[in-house]
Chain A
């Protein structure tokens, strides 16, 4: 009997030690990538056909522990995927997200608890293909880990895509006729296209498509060193107060 009691006591001590040690190890270890949280939002809930959609992704560590991972949210990386549900219920990936392929390298690091990373970028490529008709679409984002083995996903969020009318309709018809509508908002190309863009802005100064073209023109003339024109089209862009700040990454820790 004494022997049995001694055995139970020894086993209990060993088990308790094991649990304590294991618990300590878990407490000290970081969590894996899939413990991060991702959310998706847009500046508005309704957009016109072929109107670029500013997408804001927010990555958060809502746990109490550091998480090993990355915070690369830009569309030109291969970590972000966007999926759509079309009005007829079909699901598809929006691909490519960016007109640029960037050879980028980086390493994972520990993302502290309380970290929030926000990034806003335009969904502006191949809109005619992805949003072919007016209706309610659902959209979600997925962020892959650096090795591609882990994923985090947002919930589906609903977007209403509506038919343009009046000046917006005429503006869209102009763009379809005189530009490569699939890439006009994301990948402006030749010098000649800027002549068309200027004519567009003059012809349709108030359309919902206009600030995107003003942005292209402002960047082009800034690059060319044409300060006056760059300023002109920057002012055009600023006149659309709803236009979001793009490309910025906001990182906060609280």
Chain B
């Protein structure tokens, strides 16, 4: 039924139109809604809208001119419109002289079908211009009420909120323990249909949605400033490059599931529930969504919109979403419902060893000569001394007491205390440097008899946390787990103490402690850290100040036998082996930060572990991977890409 409404008092004022437009933007498509395609402001004011009350489909269109002065507008103004959709085709037009009245049409139909799209398209001619407007809606009908993920193996970390950019949900698809045979990549997608009827075919389709963490290469190379694209996952399922969006499969023991052009369809049970299995990829940061609909054609027509995450249909209706906190699918009339974004996270299992009790961090001998000056006392040692090492330090002289040491040569000890040469001569002594790796000793006896153990800052930037301040690997979707690399028994806190570790012994020292090698695999990543004490004497920052002709380099940590690189292609080819483990020199770390009056940044551990992941680093400006003491707490984009491309366990 079509009616030309001829009234100077058009039934909708501008405020109403604005409300309707707002409602449209937020998807309230059952309500009246309008769009203004004529001048954005001013006249003619053009509008059209379509509504459905469950029985009658109603379309309206109008053209409002500036005024009705007979002197200004002698020509005709008009509104013509068509309302169409399955079973409906209504047209109408209204024409009048512009000075006489506004024009409008009303279109009605009771033939609307459920779950169908209807649109009104109007043409407006005003006194000072014109244009076209349109509006669409979907009539309610049976639909998918929700799409949710469920773990099949429920004895592990749950699917929970993804704390990183883009939100949504996260899953850890890797192994919980090294030798398990269950496949945690396989989860279940469960759909609730609006009718509790068995045998309704539900169509499932999976998408590789946009990486919301970046819009530029190398992290996300296929975005541009206005359009974010999906299909940017780094992983695939079982080496098949066409499976970057994951794989939908029929659940074990199910019947009635069939493949179709865009995915897999399965039948509802008597509760209106349809389920499929979904196998995800393993690369950290890969993300997915699954959409479901009872209409095969409709789901085939869906595509990612400009944000690369939401889905839209050919009429630009956005597909509602089931999230853990809200479900817009219940109220929306769209014939499809999509799941929340699901993002891959990986665990990094860490075996942590440490050297045992500090021993031999002193030198003992006899004072075989002594000279006292007005400012200091110089004592001649019976044993050779490491030049300058005891600047500063202390000397304990038998029966005389403890005195500060300000300097030493290869055979002479200098103290700014007044020590009687006569008393000192022939006395035995013990000489300690200033080592105090955990800052617990008011007087430093070289940490002797103290166990080497993690300090409060050692792992402060690599905690089991989603907070990037506490876990710098969180932005690359990696969560450290301190479980001995799969077995707490692997952790050994009593490795033989070595005061100064030579470069030639780095690999052997790691092999001495590392026991998690057999546990690691592509689906069980392991890193190894050994807490050592000091590197070779030339690089241990004893003495405190540079005394030689050249400044001393101080080594804080090392990752030996590493194959590493800084930049790999966007296709993730060429990820190097990395390394099996790293050594941390706790005492030199303490020494360097103290001398610079800085708080230990805690970044030595993540720096070294990133080497194990195959990052070369150690260049200026590379943030965490630079050799700066307090760099920015992030990896550079090239390193983020490399970390997220890794398939093998570090070192494999």
**Chain A residues within 8 Å of B, Cβ to Cβ:** 70-72, 76-78, 96, 99-109, 111-112, 115, 117, 146-148, 183, 187-191, 219-220, 223-224, 247, 249, 251, 253
Contact = CB atoms under 8 A, between A and B. Distances in A.
A111 B554 CA distance: 18
Given A99-B560, A106-B554, A249 B538 contact: yes
Given A72-B553, A117-B550, A189-B507, 16 more contacts: A76-B503, A77-B553, A100-B503, A100-B558, A101-B564, A102-B535, A105-B553, A105-B627, A148-B619, A187-B560, A188-B507, A191-B511, A219-B504, A223-B504, A224-B508, A249-B538
A233 B228 CA distance: 62
A105 B600 CA distance: 14
Contacts of B507: 187-189
A79 B524 CA distance: 36
Contact of B629 (A78, A105, A146): A105
Contacts of A190: 511
Contacts of A78: 618-619, 627
Contact of A101 (B548, B549, B617): B617
A201 to B, nearest CB: 18
Q: Which of B508, B511, B554, B608 has the most CB of A within 10 A?
A: B508
B551 interface: yes
B73 interface: no
B65 to A, nearest CB: 70
A99 B509 CA distance: 15
Interface of B: 503-509, 511, 535, 538-539, 546, 548-564, 579, 592, 604, 607-608, 611, 616-620, 627-629
Given A147-B620, A188-B507, A102 B558 contact: yes
B561 A100 contact: yes
A101 B563 CA distance: 9
6 contacts: A101-B562, A103-B607, A115-B550, A148-B619, A187-B561, A251-B548
Q: Which of B550, B561, B611 has the most CB of A within 10 A?
A: B550
Given A100-B561, A101-B558, A190-B511, A108 B618 contact: no
A112 B549 CA distance: 7
A146 B617 CA distance: 14
Nearest to B593: A105
Q: Which of B505, B607, B619, B627 has the most CB of A within 10 A?
A: B627
B619 A103 contact: no
Contacts of B550: 70-71, 109, 111, 115, 117, 251
Contacts, number: 112
Contacts of B555: 102-104
Main secondary structure of the interface of A (DSSP, over half): loop
Contacts of B538: 249
B553 A106 contact: yes
B618 A100 contact: no
A191 B562 CA distance: 18
A54 B641 CA distance: 36
B483 to A, nearest CB: 24
Nearest to B504: A219
A253 B548 CA distance: 11
A46 B552 CA distance: 34
Contacts of A219: 504-505, 508
Given A148-B620, A190-B511, A219-B504, A103 B553 contact: no
Nearest to B589: A103
Q: Which of A101, A188, A224 has the most CB of B within 10 A?
A: A101
B620 A223 contact: no
A68 to B, nearest CB: 10
Contacts of A72: 553
A2 B560 CA distance: 79
Contacts of B557: 102-103
A166 to B, nearest CB: 30
A223 B559 CA distance: 18
B510 to A, nearest CB: 10
Contacts of B620: 146-148
B554 A104 contact: yes
B621 to A, nearest CB: 8
A109 B547 CA distance: 11
Contacts of B506: 100
Given A70-B551, A104-B539, A223 B564 contact: no
A106 B551 contact: yes
Contacts of A77: 553, 618
A231 to B, nearest CB: 16
A115 B561 contact: no
B558 A103 contact: yes
Contacts of A187: 507, 560-561
Contacts of A109: 546, 550-551
Nearest to B559: A101
A106 B549 contact: no
Nearest to B505: A223
A105 B511 contact: no
A94 to B, nearest CB: 14
A183 B561 contact: yes
B26 to A, nearest CB: 53
Contacts of A115: 549-550
Q: Which of A71, A78, A112, A251 has the most CB of B within 10 A?
A: A78
A223 B549 CA distance: 31
Nearest to A188: B507
B508 A220 contact: yes
